[in-house]
Chains A and B, each alone.
Chain A
Amino acid sequence: MSDIGFPILSLLLAVPLVGAAVCLFVGASAARLVALLATLINFVIGIVLWASYDPAGAQWQFVERADIFGPFSYALGIDGIALMLIMLTVFLMPICIGASWNAIAKRVPEYMSAFLFMETLVIGVFAAQDIFLFYIFFEAGLIPMYLIIGIWGGQDRIYAAYKFFLYTLLGSVLMLIAILWMVRAAGTAAIPELMVYDFAPQAQTWLWLAFFASFAVKMPMWPVHTWLPDAHVQAPTAGSVILAGVLLKLGGYGMLRFSLPMFPEASAQFMWLIFGLSMVAVVYTSLVALVQQDMKKLIAYSSVAHMAIVTVGLFAFNQQGLEGSIILMLSHGLVSGALFLCVGVVYDRLHTREISRYGGLSINMPTYAVFFLLFTMASIGLPGTSGFVGEFLALAGTYQASTWAALICTTGIILGAAYSLYLYRRVAFGEQKNVDAAAMSDLSMRELWLLAPLAGAALWMGIYPESFLQPIRRDVSMIVERIDRAKPASDSQLVENVGWTERFRTVREEHHENTAAGGAH
Chain B
Amino acid sequence: MDYGQSLLITLPEIILSIGGLVLLLVAAWSGAKATRAVSISAVALLVAAGVATLCYTGDAFGALYSGDQFSDFGHVLIYIAAAISLMIAPRFFQRAGLARAEYPILILYACVGMGMMVSATDFLTLYIGLELNSLAAYVLASFLRTDERSAEAGLKYFVLGALASGILLFGMSLVYGFTGSTSFVAVLGSLGGGMETGALFGIVFVLAGLAFKISAVPFHMWTPDVYEGAPTPVTAFFASAPKVAATALTVRVAVDAFGTQTLAWQQIIIFIALASIILGGVAAIGQTNLKRLLAYSSINNIGFLLIGLAAGTQEGISAVLVYLSIYVAMTLGSFACIMQLRGPDGEPREELSDIAGLSQTNKGLALAMAIFMFSLAGIPPLFGFWGKVVVFDAAIGAGLLPLAVIGIAASVIGAFYYIKIVKLMYFDESRTVLQTGDGKALAWIGAIMALLVSPLGYFSIPLLGGFANNAASALF
Q: Can you name the residue of chain B whose Cβ is closest to the Cβ of A74?
A: B458
Q: In the complex, which of the residues A71, A173, A181 contacts B412, with contact meaning CB atoms closer than 8 Å? A: A173
B396 on the interface (CB 8 Å rule)?
Answer: yes
Query: Once bound together, how far apart are the Cα atoms of A158 and B428, in whole Å?
Result: 9
- Contact residues in A for B427 (Cβ distance below 8 Å): 150-151, 157-158, 161
Given A71-B465, A143-B379, answer yes or no on A165-B419 (Cβ-Cβ < 8 Å).
yes
Would A70 and B461 count as touching, CB distance under 8 A?
Answer: yes
Residues B400-417 near A (CB distance < 8 A): 401, 404-405, 408-409, 411-412, 415-416
1/0 per residue, CB under 8 A from B, across A36-70: the answer is 00000000000000000000000000000000111
Query: What is the CB-to-nearest-CB distance from A159 to chain B, in angstroms, rounded to a whole number?
Result: 11
B70 on the interface (CB 8 Å rule)?
Answer: no
Query: Once bound together, how far apart are the Cα atoms of A329 and B362, in whole Å?
Result: 41
Q: Can you name the residue of chain B whose Cβ is closest to the Cβ of A167?
A: B412
Q: Can you name the residue of chain B whose Cβ is closest to the Cβ of A132?
A: B389
Q: In the complex, which of the residues A69, A136, A166 contacts B415, with contact meaning CB atoms closer than 8 Å? A: A166
Q: Can you name the residue of chain A whose Cβ is closest to the Cβ of B410?
A: A173
1/0 per residue, CB under 8 A from B, across A491-502: the answer is 000000000000
Would A150 and B423 count as touching, CB distance under 8 A?
Answer: yes
Given A69-B462, A70-B462, A177-B405, answer yes or no on A146-B396 (Cβ-Cβ < 8 Å).
no
Would A169 and B461 count as touching, CB distance under 8 A?
Answer: no
Most buried by A among B380, B393, B396, B422: B380
Tell me what chain A mostly uses at the interface: helix, strand, loop, or mixed: helix
Would A180 and B380 count as touching, CB distance under 8 A?
Answer: no
Would A136 and B380 count as touching, CB distance under 8 A?
Answer: yes
Query: Once bound together, how far apart are the Cα atoms of A243 and B53, in whole Å?
Result: 53
Query: What is the CB-to-nearest-CB distance from A10 to chain B, in angstroms, rounded to a whole number?
Result: 15
Would B396 and A180 count as touching, CB distance under 8 A?
Answer: yes
Chain B: number of interface residues, binned into ranges? 20 to 34
A103 on the interface (CB 8 Å rule)?
Answer: no
B381 on the interface (CB 8 Å rule)?
Answer: yes
A197 on the interface (CB 8 Å rule)?
Answer: no
- Contact residues in B for A418 (Cβ distance below 8 Å): none
Q: Can you name the residue of chain B whose Cβ is closest to the Cβ of A149?
A: B427
Query: Once bound together, how far apart are the Cα atoms of A360 and B411, in whole Å?
Result: 51
Most buried by B among A135, A136, A184: A136
Query: What is the CB-to-nearest-CB distance from B120 to chain A, in angstroms, rounded to a whole number?
Result: 31
Given A157-B427, A165-B419, answer yes or no on A140-B379 (Cβ-Cβ < 8 Å).
yes
Query: Once bound together, how far apart are the Cα atoms of A135 and B427, in whole Å?
Result: 27
B304 on the interface (CB 8 Å rule)?
Answer: no
Would A69 and B408 count as touching, CB distance under 8 A?
Answer: no
B459 on the interface (CB 8 Å rule)?
Answer: yes
Would A181 and B401 count as touching, CB distance under 8 A?
Answer: yes
B65 on the interface (CB 8 Å rule)?
Answer: no
- Contact residues in A for B389 (Cβ distance below 8 Å): 132, 176, 180
Query: Once bound together, how far apart are the Cα atoms of A147 and B412, in whole Å?
Result: 18
Residues A165-217 near B (CB distance < 8 A): 165-166, 169-170, 173-174, 176-177, 180-181, 184
Would A180 and B392 count as touching, CB distance under 8 A?
Answer: yes
Would B459 and A69 count as touching, CB distance under 8 A?
Answer: yes
Given A68-B459, A70-B461, A146-B422, answer yes or no on A169-B396 (Cβ-Cβ < 8 Å).
no
Query: Once bound together, how far apart are the Cα atoms of A137 and B409, in whole Å?
Result: 20
1/0 per residue, CB under 8 A from A, across B450-476: the answer is 000000001101100100000000000
Would A184 and B397 count as touching, CB distance under 8 A?
Answer: yes
For this complex, 27 residue pairs linking A to B, each with C-beta atoms less than 8 Å apart, are: A70-B465, A132-B389, A137-B381, A140-B379, A140-B380, A142-B379, A143-B374, A143-B379, A146-B422, A147-B422, A150-B426, A158-B427, A162-B416, A162-B423, A165-B419, A166-B412, A166-B419, A169-B415, A170-B409, A173-B409, A173-B411, A173-B412, A177-B392, A177-B401, A177-B408, A180-B404, A181-B401
Q: Which 5 A-B pairs have CB atoms at the shortest separation, nearest pair first?
A: A70-B461, A136-B380, A70-B462, A150-B427, A173-B408
Other than the given A110-B359, A176-B392, 6 more pairs (CB < 8 A) read A142-B379, A147-B422, A166-B412, A176-B389, A177-B405, A184-B393
Task: Name A residues whose Cβ lies closer than 8 Å to a Cβ of B.
Answer: 68-71, 107, 110, 132, 135-137, 139-140, 142-143, 146-147, 150-151, 157-158, 161-162, 165-166, 169-170, 173-174, 176-177, 180-181, 184
